[in-house]
Structures are given as structure tokens and as C-alpha cells.
Structure 1
Amino acid sequence: AHRRRRPAAWLIAACVTSVLRITRRHTKGSTTMRIGIDVGGTNTDAVLIGYDDRVLAAAKSPTTPDITAGITAAVRTLDPPVESVTAVMIGTTHFLNALVEGARLTPVAAVRLGLPATAALPPMADWPARQRAAVAGHGYLCHGGREFDGRPLSPLDPEELKRTAADIAARGLTSVAVSSVFSPVAETDERLAAGILRAELGEGVHLSLSHDLGRVGLLARENATIINASLRDLATVIVESFGKALAEMSLTAPFFLSQNDGTLMDADFARTCPVATFASGPTNSMRGAALLSGLGDCAVVDVGGTTADIGILTGGFPREAAGESQAAGIRVNFRTPDVLSLGIGGGSLVSEGGGTGPRSVGHRLTRDALVFGGTRLTATDLAVAAGLADIGDRARVAHLDPEFTGRALERVAGRLAEGVDRMRTSAAPLAVVAVGGGSVLVPEPLPGFADVRRPAHFDVANAVGAAIAQVGGEVDRVFRVPDGRRDAVLAGARDEALGRALDAGALPGSVRVVDVEEVPLAYLPGGATRIRVKAVGDLDLERVPGCSGPSWCDAGAVRDA
């Protein structure tokens, strides 16, 4: 009997140990939380998200000039259990705003590898005058570059690059943008040129390489690289401010910035690639709208304090712009969502004739709007007067003529409906999800769109989108596709994209391909085809705290994110 009890006791102990392991795992998961923050031009929004993507708390705070105070105020309102927060995700418009304003930009030396071709249009030839002046506009044309299949266009000339470096040093420039013809296909020339320039200019120089930032298309990719180089110093200041704000709240969890396509980058990568955040605001709003509404395919109308951004969700991700887009009037070709922006927001000024926008009081809404004791009539005042919103003091807008208010709001609804109609690609019924603090201006129904939804926490959808951002990997280059080998080439591109997502820190088993684009280039020989594959997966939080995997430690792997 004694011998029989010993195996039974061992078996019970083993079962108890297994149960405890499972319990600990589930307990840990249930207390895992993330904070999503969106720093907008008017408000800084923050949410606390549970392990099951439930919104546990939400907060809004006016955006402050020093960044830190606004973030600290919003997070303090959340009152998160700091020991349970495993990651903080931040979306920001600071870098785009700096470019639009033509302020806080660093002078740049733009080095293009493409002679004897490409000399007809020098770098920054099509830039607006303000932005061109802000980055000083120093362009250099050098030999190098590749054909679409990787063959050299012309030999790289080290002595030419050394002379270029000498002139850059004489001008006192410390930020250099290097672009090369077809570098997304063959990046060798850019890397060799960067090595020569760094050796001549010293370790203090900032180098931005175009193959890290843009897609096929020289001028738009070069523009993106120059913009990125001009923002490097500001990026250091902004990222350090984010870190300081979180440290003041005793938050030791790693923080990430959301990118244009709804995926994440870590703080180190954000310092080197600030241009990747330009469209993170509307992207976060659309991703948040998808989660909050439960709809993966719909139109999203995000109304903030100054603008209304309209986009289309496909499979839970924003539809991306087909080709080139514009940033502050400059053509670029990095990943951006296809968004239509209208000058309509909660802070939009209303004219005597009932026209709304595009001028706005922006972050001064709580000071200038009538309902807050101000003297300026805004769209928010109209919404309060019509009973669509209950903020401020309704008695301060009681004098507004109901007919005038109704007519002005109808104009707003008509412009929003027209915007959604411009973005749709078919006549099929399309649900509309309204988010953002100013979305009270979106009526239910919207003219021409019967299914309008305003989900819970609609006013902080942008912060929700930041909190649920995933890790991505993408392949975008020209492949040779021999007859009968199309499936094999596509499979190879898919595997490469999946591998890049895993290398960038995605959780194994969660990665999936969300977009495949195949464009045959009929004017090139050899079955040349541009193939773009995008894969995403959940952030592997187990690999983040100690940087135990290569993805967050190796610069090359992070770059592929």
C-alpha cells in the first residue's frame, strides 16, 4: 500500500504543478495592460487597454507646447497600475506639423547617385519655397545607381563622394540624405556611399538612406529621405520628451511609436525614421474604429478639432494610397493610408453665412468657443445649440437662431457625405463609423448612408488604434518572374514578408499576410513585376523588456519593420 501511494502522490503533485503554471500564465495575461496615447494638435488622448483589447479607462487632455505636460496629464487621469503596464504605444503629428510649418527643420545635404542620368531634375526641384528654404536646399549629383534588375547604372566614384563630403563639411551640414536609382532593388550603392561619407564627415553626421524609407520611384523616395533627414534633430527631442513624460509617471514599460501603416517602431528607430509617423494619426483612428465598431470593412469619418479625415477600412486596415501622396505639398511614396481631409472640425469657425471651416481655433477651443465663455462661434457651439452635444454651458448659445444652426449643420453633413462618396469604390451599401471628439457633427443617418455608427469610446478611437498597433514586415521591389514561376516567386515574397515581421518582434503564430500587390511592368524585359507583400503580427512582449531577441537589438532587423 505504501508503494502504491507514492506514485499517486507524485502524480497529484505533477498535476498541481501544471495547474499552477497554467494559472500563473492566465493571471499574468489578465493583468497585462497597454497604454495607447495619441498626441494631436488639439488634444492628447490616452486609453488603458486590457489583454483582451477591452478599454478599461480613457482620458483627454489639451495638448501642450512642451508635449510632456499634456501626456503626463492624460496618463495621470488614467491612473494605471504601473506594474501591470507592459507597453506604451504613442501616435503623434509633431513631425508632420513641423514640415507643414517649415519650422524646426535641420538643413540637409541631399546626395543623389544617378549620373549621368537624372541630371535634368535636381533634388528638391518641385518643393514649395518655404520648405525648401527651411532645409537649405543643398543638392549633390554623383555617379552610381542601378537598373531595375540590379545591374550598375554607372560605377560609384569614391573620389567624387569625398569631394562632395568636403563641400558638405565646409557648409557645416550634419544631416545627409542619400538616394540612389532603384535602391529598393539593390541597396549596395547607398550603403557604400554612406560609408564613405561617414568616414569623411565623422561619426556625428546623421545619414538617411532612401531604401529604408520609400518605394520604387526616385524623386518621391528622395523627397521622403530629405524630409526624414531634416527631422532627425527634432526626432531626438520629441522621443526624449515622450520618455521623460512616462518616467514622471513611473512607467518603466518600453514605449513605441505608431507608423503610417498602423504598425509599430521602437524609440531608437523613431529617432532615425521620424517620417514614418506622418500619417499615424488617421491610421490610428481607423484602426481604433475597426476594433470599437467590430467592422473590418467600412468607411471611417474621424472628426477632430480642425479637420475631418475620411478613409476606407479593408480587412481591419486602412486602404493604402495607390501610389504617391503628398506631405505639405511635397510628393512622397512611403506607406500612407488613402485619406481625404476636409477643413471641418469641432473648432472650425462658423461664418455669418453659416459656412464652416477651414479656419479653426484648434487647441484654443476651450477658451475661444461660445459655450466655454469665449467670443467666437465654432462648430462645437452649433452642436451644443442643436442638442447634439452636452459640453460647456448651453445657455451661452441659447441666442442662436435654430434655423441658422440647422442650415449650417446640414452643410457640414452634406460635405461629409460627399467626402465619403468620393472615397468609396462601388455603389454597394457602405457602413460609416464616426469617431473623434468632433464626430457629434456627423448626423445619423448621413445623407446617402443609412448605416452610421458611433461606437463606445468613439472620442478616443485614435488612442485605441495606437494601443492595438501591431508589428509589420513588408517586401516591395521588382522581381523577375519567368514563365511558369509566378506562384513560386509570390510564395518567396510572402515568406520574406512574414520573416521580416517575425524579425521585427512579432509573436510567432500571430503573423499573417494582409495585403499582396502585383504589378507587371510591361515596358521592362524578362517578366519584370513589382510585388508588394505586407505581413503583420502581434507584438511579442516577452521579447521586449530585456531585448532578448535580435529584433529589437539589431539595427538591420528594426529597419525592416
Structure 2
Amino acid sequence: MADSQIENAIFLGIDTGGTYTDAVLWSEARGVIAKAKALTTRHDLSVGISGAVERIVEEARVDPGHIRLVSMSTTLATNALVEGQGGRIALVMVGFSPADLEKADLGSALGSDPVVFLPGGHDVYGRPQPFDVSALQEALLRLKDEVTGFAVCAYFAVRNPEHEIAVRDLVRAQTGLPVTCSHELSAKLNGPRRALTTVLNARLIAMIDRLVAATEGFLDRRGIHAPLMVVRGDGALVSAAFARHRPIETILSGPAASLVGARHMTGLDNAIVSDIGGTTTDVAVLDNGRPRLDPNGATVGGFRTMVEAVAMRTFGLGGDSEVSLDDNAMAPRIMLGPRRLVPLSLLAANHGATVIDHLARQVKTANPGRLDGRFVLRTGVPEQMASGLSKGEAELYVRITGEPQPLDRLLNSVSQTATINRLVARGLVHLSGFTPSDACHVLHLQNNWNGEAARYGAILYARRKDGAGRPLCDTPEEISRRTYDALIRRSSEVVLETVFAEDGLDGPDMVASPLTQRALSGEGGIAGIKLDIDRPLIGLGASAPVYYPAVGTMLGAPSIVPVDTDVANALGAVVGQVRVSVEAYISQPVEGIFRVAAGEAVKDFQEEELAIAFAEETLQGQVRSFALEAGTDEAQVTIARNISAATVEDQRKFIEAVLVATATGRPRIAH
């Protein structure tokens, strides 16, 4: 396809976040053509996707048939692992013992899912142990109707995967169910962690399959006949078909997409990227144009996987964070998060006069109450989600409706606030109260919701008493400024915590130190303290323009907030590149024999040069095939060699070699 056709081709980027689904139309020639948001629909993500896509297609007046590529980032895999969701699977372990389940949290991840142990596996040089599948053949008669898929992990399969392949072929032939082999996901040693990663992948396959099928179905109905790509956790794009088999690689897809979007919008190769949402702030580092990856593998839901993903740190801090007080101090300090509240300004925007009337009533009372400015309403989850409530919880839950109710009228005693908190933790009800978003409405830094409700909320919060019994602040503007300043200060701290940790220091301890706190406060003494960050700060998120210029000033770093910062994830999803890697390992099981293990190819040579040449040729073929499957027709391949050798009595002795082939290219687009 001619370069001019590619430049003018229209791409559709989608990001399904926890709260909003974002969509963006983009072309190389015109940049961002249109963008839109819709509420994410957890029960059926395609509903939220269609809502956002319909809006931008209508706004841009684009013929859906002219869209040449669709790419999406998704929190589905991350959320599923955090919430312990996924299909029931069976794990087949070859050459391991039951004691290995105690390692790498493998037993915890498995829960009550079945395991089959088989004799077999290989040694570090890829030499086989006696192998027997009779126990599996017997178990398959029962398991095929009890599980949604299988995970297979064999001892030293990364040195020789033949036993995993034999198990995979047997299971597929007898059950027809999806099978994930550990050697397909990682070339690293540590069998139990490879098994853990394989289990989580197998558990997610059905879930990602439903998302891809629902998205493809919507696109087809809308007349969008273009390849569908998915963002991986390292920021690269892969085809939807590729992601269907390796869904574990999409964990941290959303944060990775935001980093790709940040680089595209700013052109910066080295930066700190901080993405602030309503609930959380995600901070990561761009190095030489690529996100820094977690060298130990991504940790999600408490499980350390072998998946390469962005080194992202997440903090419970956002525009909708709960504002609370440090009650132990004479001059209470304002604290934010980690819990999210529905801002009063948003509540009033959605529910009208009821909210305003109750806030006005509370403002007119002579004495402030602890429950002033607080409302509760149901989240709208299905009734069966409320099973297992205690008597007190069930009685209170029945009285809560889909319309907001003030806590001072709903609760019979202050002790019932603990009951409300338990219902919030179960995801059954939302709490609403004063937040930084409300403070920004009072200060005229935001005006997207209801400013009157925000002001009432600030008046009620300012009336709270300090340790000496005096009101906290005299005006709503004063409490709002203190809240805003608290968010700027805490945002600066989380950025510093991340960069200290990336430098190998203890991030939280360093930030808490008196020297760092003095530097942030700008307090002078005989010794003046100044912080210096070696790269600019990029602020992402819809509210980033409100906060991040001030954060940059506090940190003494240039602060950049791109024009399309509110859809950075969706943009990152569509401007990325396909990138895949494969690895070969050369060992010397006996003097004079060089054994190459490259994926499913294992071969011996008598000369080191011949072994390396075979490894490189094999990797070239494998990575090009892999790149085609991942969605690019124009892959550029590079091969990195890492050869370990020692000199003994002036003689060079080969120890081992690792070769990594990487293919990168633009995603395939519709003609």
C-alpha cells in the first residue's frame, strides 16, 4: 500500500477502563479526528464500546467502512486476576511433585482446581526423563466435562518442550478444549512460576475470547471490516487472534497504552508519566522511547507472573478521593484516599434538586453533624451479589435505593456507618461526599458538574472542628484550597516515590524523610534542600490540566499536559507497533557438543559457530512467523547475542549462549 494511503487511513482506538470506555479516531495525516467517552459496562463490555464508538463516528461523520484498523487496550485481564475471576482449569505438571505447589504461590492461585502429576520432564541440558501419560489418559475421561481449559508445565520445558507438546496433543485430541503450554509463554527458568503464569493464562482464555467475539460482532454489525489489535502489557500491539491464545500478556494493557500515547503526543523519549483518574494515579518511567519494564515480571492480584509488562506503580489517589482528617492533631491535616467517593458535584449533576435541597438543609442547621455532606445510593449490581449479608447489613441495604439518600436521615446511629462501609466494600453501594473534584469546582478550576453542590459540600466540611474546637476553615474557598494543595502535595510524593524506587532506593521511606518533606515544602534552613529530576513530567488524565502544572512546579521539573491527555490510552492503543521476541539457548552438555534449544527445535552440533548459525536461522524463521500471527506483514528483525565464555589456562571455554530475535513492524491494515 502506498505511503499516502497509509497516512490518510483512519484508525479507531478503544480503551476499556474501570469507569469509562474511551474511543478515538486518528490518522497519520490529521492526528486526532474525534474522541468520546462512555461509561464502561462491566456485565457486557461491548455495550460501553459501542456507546463510545457510535459517538465519534457520528461526530466525525466518518463512513465506518473507511476505518482501516481497530486497536484496543483493556483492563479485563487485570481486573479478573485482581478479583479472582476466571474459568475452572486443570493443571498438568510433568516431572514435578506436589511439594512444588507450595512454591511461587502456585497452590494459592490454583485454589480447588484439579492437578495431574506425571513422571517425565528434562534436565538442564534438555535430556529426557522417563515419561508416562497413563494417569492423564485416565483423568481426561472425568476432567473434560469439569473444566474450561488446561495448563501444562513440564520440568525444564524451556530446554526441551517435547513432553509439553505430547501432553498438549493428547489433551486436544481427547477433549477439544484450549491448552496453554508454559514454554509458549516464557523462556525463563523457575518451573513453579512458569506453571503459575500458565494457569492464569488458561483461566483467562474464555473471558478474553468473549470480549474479542463481542467486539468483533459489534464492528461487523457497524460495517467496520478492519483487523482488530490488542495492546500487550509491554505496550506492543498484537492481533486479537494472538491475544485470544495468550490473554495473560494483556495484563497492564491500559497503563502500557497510556505510556505509548504519552510518547506519541509529546515526542519525548525520556520522561516520567503520571496518569491521574478518579480513583487512582499510575506512575511509570519512559526510557529511550519505551516504557521501563518490570524485570521480575508483572505482579497482579498478588501473583508474580513471568509476563513482561510496564513497571507501573499505582496509588489510591485521584480527583474523586475521599477527603478525611488526621483527627489526632490539634491542627488536623487533610488526607486523601485511598477510597473513592462519588463527588457531590457529580451526584447533583445526575440526581438534581434532591441533593441540593438536603445540602442546603444541613448548612442551615446551627450545629454541624458528623454525617453532613454524605449520601448513599445503590451501585445497581444484580440482586444475587447481595447474598450472604448479615441481618443488620441486609436490613440497611433494603432501605437504600437507586436514588441518593443523606446519611443523617438514613442512619439511626453513628455505629451504622461501619455497616455502610461494609456494603461499600462489597460493591453494593456508593458513598458520596466532598472530594478534590468538588474543591476544584469551588475554585473555578473545573466546571463540568454542579458547582452549587460542590460549594455546599465545602461549607459543610469547613465547619468541622479542629483539636481546639474551632471550625477547620472560615470559608469554602479556604477548605477547597487546602484540599487542592493536599492533592498537589500527595501527587508530588507519589511521583518521587516512583523515581526513588526506580533508582533502587526505598521509595516510601525516602519520601517520608524530613529532608524530602523539607524540599517539597520549600522550607529554608541553614541547609537548603532542592530536588532535581533528570526528565520532564507528563500529566495524563482528564483532570491532569487542573493539577499537573502545579505538581511540576513543586518538583522543579518541566510539566507537560498534552492536548488529548484525556484519551491517552485510546490513542496509545492505535499508534503502537507490533513487537514480538523469541529466544534460543545454547548449552554444552558434554565437551565438544553444542546443544541448541530454540522453541520446539532441539539440535546438537560439534562446532560453536555452526550451533550459533543454526540458532540464528531458526530464530529468524520463528520470529517472522510469530510476527505474521501477531499482525504485521513488514517485520524488521534484529538478533542480540549474549555469549558466556571463560579463559582457563589461556584456552577459551564456552559456557552458554542466549540469542534473542525481535521483530517489529506496523500493524496490518485493511485495504
TM-score, normalised by the number of residues in structure 1: 0.80
CA distance in 2, matches of 1:423, 1:48: 36
Q: Tell me, yes or no, if structure 1 residue 49 matches structure 2 residue 13.
A: no
Within-5 A mapping of 1:281-292: 281-292=254-265
Q: Which moved more, 1:172-181 or 1:141-150?
A: 141-150
Structure 2 residue aligned with 1:384:
441
CA distance in 2, matches of 1:381, 1:75: 29
Structure 1: which amino acid aligns with 2:495? Answer: A
- 1:386 is displaced (CA, Å) by 4.1
- 1:166 is displaced (CA, Å) by 3.8
Within-5 A mapping of 1:65-464: 65=42, 66-79=44-57, 80-103=62-85, 105-115=86-96, 118-122=97-101, 126=105, 132-133=110-111, 136-152=112-128, 154-169=129-144, 172-200=146-174, 202-203=175-176, 205-216=177-188, 217-353=190-326, 354-361=334-341, 366-367=346-347, 375-398=432-455, 399=458, 400=476, 401-425=479-503, 429-439=534-544, 440-442=546-548, 443-464=550-571
Structure 1: which amino acid aligns with 2:337? Answer: G
Structure 1 residue aligned with 2:10:
33
Q: Which runs of 5+ in 2 are unaligned?
A: 327-333, 356-374, 376-431, 459-475, 505-531, 589-593, 595-606, 647-652
- 1:339 is displaced (CA, Å) by 1.1
Structure 2: which amino acid aligns with 1:267? Answer: A
CA distance in 2, matches of 1:276, 1:364: 38
CA distance in 1, matches of 2:45, 2:125: 46
Residues 347 and 365 in structure 1, CA contact (< 8 A), matched pair in contact too:
no
Q: Which moved more, 1:64-73 or 1:266-275?
A: 266-275
Deviations along 1:407-455, one digit per CA (max 9) or x if unpaired, are 4224323322323423543976111111122434333425334111111
Secondary structure at 1:147 match in 2: coil
The verdict on how the C-alpha distance between 1:55 and 1:234 changes in structure 2, with shifts beyond 3 A counting, is same
CA distance in 2, matches of 1:232, 1:531: 30
Residues 105 and 303 in structure 2, CA contact (< 8 A), matched pair in contact too:
yes
Residues 87 and 254 in structure 1, CA contact (< 8 A), matched pair in contact too:
yes
- 1:403 is displaced (CA, Å) by 4.6
Residues 38 and 45 in structure 1, CA contact (< 8 A), matched pair in contact too:
yes
Deviations along 1:269-290, one digit per CA (max 9) or x if unpaired, are 3332221211111100000000
- 1:98 is displaced (CA, Å) by 1.7
The verdict on how the C-alpha distance between 1:445 and 1:111 changes in structure 2, with shifts beyond 3 A counting, is same
- 1:125 is displaced (CA, Å) by 6.8
CA distance in 2, matches of 1:409, 1:140: 52
Residues 21 and 38 in structure 2, CA contact (< 8 A), matched pair in contact too:
yes
CA distance in 2, matches of 1:26, 1:330: 44
Residues 39 and 91 in structure 1, CA contact (< 8 A), matched pair in contact too:
yes
- 1:327 is displaced (CA, Å) by 1.6
Structure 2: which amino acid aligns with 1:139? Answer: V
Q: Which moved more, 1:525-534 or 1:318-327?
A: 525-534
Aligned counterpart for 1:503 among listed residues 625, 628, 645: 628
- 1:337 is displaced (CA, Å) by 1.2
CA distance in 2, matches of 1:462, 1:364: 27
The verdict on how the C-alpha distance between 1:501 and 1:312 changes in structure 2, with shifts beyond 3 A counting, is farther
CA distance in 2, matches of 1:377, 1:198: 56
Aligned counterpart for 1:466 among listed residues 564, 570, 573: 573
Structure 2 residue aligned with 1:557:
none
Residues 472 and 501 in structure 1, CA contact (< 8 A), matched pair in contact too:
no
- 1:63 is displaced (CA, Å) by 0.9
The verdict on how the C-alpha distance between 1:319 and 1:187 changes in structure 2, with shifts beyond 3 A counting, is same
Residues 533 and 557 in structure 2, CA contact (< 8 A), matched pair in contact too:
no
- 1:69 is displaced (CA, Å) by 2.0
Q: Percent identity?
A: 25
Alignment root-mean-square deviation, CA: 3.4
Secondary structure at 2:552 match in 1: coil
- 1:252 is displaced (CA, Å) by 2.0
The verdict on how the C-alpha distance between 1:26 and 1:162 changes in structure 2, with shifts beyond 3 A counting, is closer
- 1:471 is displaced (CA, Å) by 1.4
Deviations along 1:367-424, one digit per CA (max 9) or x if unpaired, are 4899996742223223434444342133333333245324422432332232342354
Residues 432 and 452 in structure 1, CA contact (< 8 A), matched pair in contact too:
yes
Specify the structure having the higher radius of gyration (Cα). 2
CA distance in 1, matches of 2:349, 2:322: 9
Residues 370 and 377 in structure 1, CA contact (< 8 A), matched pair in contact too:
no
Q: How many residues align?
A: 507
